[in-house]
Structure 1
Amino acid sequence: MKKIIIVGAGGHAAEVVDYLNFINAMPSIDANQKWEVLGLIDDNIANFHLYSYDYPFLGDIKAHEVNHEVDYLIAVANIKFRRLIVESLLAKGAKFCTLIHPTAIVSPTAKIGLGNVISHNVSIGPKVEIGNFNLINSRCTLGHDTKLENYNFLSPQTVTGGGTEIGNNNFFGTNVAILPRTTVGNNNTISAGMVVDKSIHDDSTFFHRFKEKVLVISS
Structure 2
Amino acid sequence: MKFKAPLLYFFLFTLVSICTLQAQDVKAKALLDEVTSKVKSYNNIAIDFKYSLQNVKENINQESKGNVLLQNNNYVLNFMGITKIFDGKKVYTIVPEDEEISISNFDDKDENAITPSKMLTFFNKGYKYSWDILQNVRGRKIQYIKLVPISSKDQRKEVLLGIDVQTKNIYNVIETGKNGTKTTIVVNSFKTNQPVSKNQFTFVKSKYPNYYINNID
Q: Same fold (TM over 0.5)?
A: no
* TM-score normalised by structure 2 residue count: 0.22
Structure with bigger gyration radius? 2
More strand by proportion, 1 or 2? 2
Bigger relative contact order, structure 1 or 2 (CA pairs below 8 A, ≥6 apart): 2
